[in-house]
Structure 1
Amino acid sequence: MTKQFSSVWLREPRQPKASGLHRDQIVEAAVALLDAEGLEALSMRKIGAKLGAGATSLYWYVANKEELLELALDEFWGMVETPESDDAPWREVLTTFAYNFRATMRAHPWSAGLVGRLPSMGPKALRVTDRLRRAYYSAGFRGIDIYMASGTVLCFVLGQVTPEIAWTKAYGDAEFDTEGALEMMDRVAEDYPEIRADYRATTPTDAATARAMAFDFGLLCVLDGLEARLRGVPGS
């Protein structure tokens, strides 16, 4: 059974009614609420109250909450900066994108629940996609490989940042209990002395620094891998 594809981007925005409310105002209020209370707290009723309007009046502009989330997701993509100049080397473009994508996700953690679940087909998302496409093309990727390479970098960032967001949601700004973690490892990994030794030697005292180091290492490996693949393609 085929699920019918629907999106807010498949129809023209409706003109404002006499109340003067605009769709942009609704999206701005939604992003502010998402930042303050998270994805689970978003409701049309809360958005209406924030704007001094009834929830039913919002449905003139967006058919449902999913459409509103699509619009908010596009606003998110508009916050992810990438170098605009085509003279910038491809690795510089992708590195800048990856770091800014990570920072923007951390600043707006609700985005982790939307990227990949909703279509990113708005004007701001497409602008980012086009800029990344040009970077991959300049590197030497062609055809579907452009989007395969882009998806690889995208998934790396998502895979790194989503656990960070989950940890922050669960524990807030609490410091990582290094000693407690080491004691637990000594108990549960008694039969694996090498792992215990590695854990004691490598467990960081500062979790934020450890995450940044892991991101640096992983991103370099991904970009090195893409570059190695290019070198192995005839004519690249």
Structure 2
Amino acid sequence: MPRDTLTRDQIVRTAVELLDAEGLEGLNMRALGKRLDSAATAVYWHVQNKDNLVLLATDQVWGELALPEPDMADWRTAATAMAADLYRMFTRHPWLVQVFAAHVVYGEGKARHDDHSLALYEAAGFTGAHADQAAAAVFTYVLGNAAGAAATASLTRKLDEKGTTAEEQFKDAMAKAREIAERYPRLRARLDTPAAADYAASPDRTFEFGLQALLDGLERLRAGT
């Protein structure tokens, strides 16, 4: 595809598709050019470099987030909806977790989200630094929980690429982890439950439980207790 028929929007959307499929480590101009049916050099007419492209792709997916209206009377419902939507975005695009570890993330989409998040906590009655701290605490909680999903996606992709031998190595590592866990009473007790088919898995609804516990604490702070 000639460079004059490419658009930046098309390049960014294709970069998101490539990142979803291959992760941050799979994004390069040659692979992107192949997906676009274009020379890699043509991409540089529209984006500065790979880092710039990553930020553009990140801001593109940030636009997927719904932003519920702030409501002081029911701020927790809005806060829960925003956090759950953010978590789903991270798990749809697990490479985003890698981006936060390697880049200073900024852009219109993220600014729109962050401004709305502050508006929500201010409407709930948090003032000054407390509003910033409340928004940051929830965001950090969501990002930390999404890291597990991102790691699983990355490992699964590597296993698919390497084939049976790597999968066998993974199963062997998990068997050794279970063997070590048998030495510790609380871990051993959990290995005997149906949910322990995957030793590394967290119990169902762990994200929801932790989020509500965090919001409980913010509610007490808001009430001045």
Tell me the amino acid that sits aligned with residue 67 of structure 1: N
1:42 matches 2:27? yes
Aligned to 1:155: 140
CA RMSD of superposed structures (Å): 3.1
Aligned to 2:181: 185
Pick one of 204, 219, 228 that aligns with 2:195. 204
Aligned to 2:220: 228
Aligned to 1:142: 127
Pick one of 62, 70, 79 that aligns with 1:86. 70
1:196 is displaced (CA, Å) by 4.9
1:197 is displaced (CA, Å) by 6.0
Distance 1:206 1:90 in 2: 38
**TM-score, normalised with respect to structure 2:** 0.79
Bigger helix fraction: 2
SS of 1:115 mapped into structure 2: helix
SS of 1:79 mapped into structure 2: coil
Pick one of 33, 41, 44 that aligns with 1:56. 41
Q: Deviations over 1:147-186 (max 9, x none)?
A: 2211111111111120232134325799x99x95665422
SS of 2:67 mapped into structure 1: coil
1:206 is displaced (CA, Å) by 6.4
Q: Report if the CA contact (8 A) 2:94-2:146 is conserved.
A: no
**TM-score, normalised with respect to structure 1:** 0.76
Report % sequence identity: 35
1:96 matches 2:81? yes
Q: Report if the CA contact (8 A) 2:71-2:120 is conserved.
A: no
1:216 matches 2:201? no
Q: Deviations over 1:56-79 (max 9, x none)?
A: 222222111000000011112112
Aligned length: 209
Distance 1:52 1:80 in 2: 30
Structure 2, gaps ≥5 residues long: 160-166
SS of 2:111 mapped into structure 1: helix
Structure 1, gaps ≥5 residues long: 1-16
Runs of 4+ in 1 over 3 A off after TM superposition: 171-174, 179-184, 196-203, 205-212
Distance 1:182 1:34, change over 3 A: closer
Q: Deviations over 1:103-133 (max 9, x none)?
A: 1111111111013543333221111112111
